[in-house]
Amino acid sequence: MQYRNLGRTGIQVSPYCLGTMMFGGMANADHDECVRMIHKALDFGINFIDTADAYHQGESEEIVGKALKGRRDDVVLATKASLPMGDDPNRRGGSRRWLTRAVEDALRRLRTDHIDLFQIHRLAPDTDIEETLSALSDLMREGKVRAIGASTVPASDIVEAQWVAERRGLARFRTEQPPYSILNRSIEREVLPTCQRYGMGVMAWSPLAKGMLTGKYRKGREQPDSLRVQYFPKAMSDAASLEAVERLIPLAESAGLSLTHMALAFVVTHPAITSAIIGPRTPGQLDDLLDGAQVRLSDEILDRIDDIVPPGVDLAPLERAAYIPPAIARTSLRRRASPDRAVVSSG
Whether 343 is in a domain gets the answer no
- Active-site residues, by number, are 55
- Classify residue 344: in a domain, yes or no: no
Yes or no: say if 209 and 224 are a contact pair by the CB < 8 Å rule: no
Query: pLDDT tens-digit profile of 308-339?
Result: 999 999 997 776 666 777 777 778 888 887 66
- Count of C-beta atoms within a 10 Å radius of residue 250: 10
Sequence-separated (6 or more) residues with CB below 8 Å from residue 117: 6, 11, 76, 77, 78, 79, 146, 147, 148, 149, 174, 175
Q: Exposure pattern of 280-309 as b/e (b: 16+ CB <10 Å)?
A: bbeeebbebbbebbebebeeebeebbeebb
pLDDT(62) > 90: yes
The HSE-up count of residue 271 (CA atoms within 13 Å, CB side) is 5
* Contact criterion met (CB below 8 Å) for 42 and 71: yes
DSSP secondary structure string for all residues of 121-168 = SS--TTS-HHHHHHHHHHHHHTTSEEEEEEES--HHHHHHHHHHHHHH
In a domain, 341, yes or no: no
Q: What is the pLDDT of residue 36?
A: 98
Q: What is the pLDDT of residue 230?
A: 61
pLDDT of 131 strictly over 70: yes
Q: Which residue has the higher pLDDT, 216 or 150?
A: 150
CB atoms within 10 A of CB 45: 14
The reply to whether 108 falls in a domain is yes
State how far the Cα of 105 lies from the Cα of 88, in Å rounded to an integer: 16
The answer to whether position 76 is within a domain reads yes
Supply the DSSP string of 250-282, one letter for each residue. Answer: HHHHHTT--HHHHHHHHHHHSTT--EEEE--SS
- Residue 345 counted as domain residue: no
Separation of alpha carbons 12 and 15, rounded Å: 10
Alpha-carbon distance 23 to 261, whole Å? 22
Q: Is residue 21 part of a domain?
A: yes
pLDDT of residue 207: 97
Supply the range of the domain harboring residue 224.
4-334
Looking up residue 116, the CATH number of its domain turns out to be 3.20.20.100
Closest CA to 38 of 15, 57, 60, 11: 60
User: What percent of the chain has a predicted confidence (pLDDT) above 70?
Assistant: 93
Number of domains forming the structure of the chain: 1
Share of the chain above pLDDT 90, in %: 81
| Interval 67-79 mean pLDDT | 97
What dihedral angle (degrees, nearest 10) is formed by the CA atoms of 36, 38, 40, 42? -140
Looking at the domain assignment, is residue 41 inside a domain? yes
pTM for this predicted structure = 0.92
Residue 137 pLDDT > 60, yes or no?
Answer: yes
Hey, is 18 helix, strand or coil? strand
Q: Label each residue of 67-111 as H, E or C.
A: HCCCCHHHCEEEEEECCCCCCCCCCCCCCHHHHHHHHHHHHHHHC
Dump pLDDT digits (tens) for 145-204: 999 999 999 999 999 999 999 999 999 999 999 999 999 999 999 999 999 999 999 999
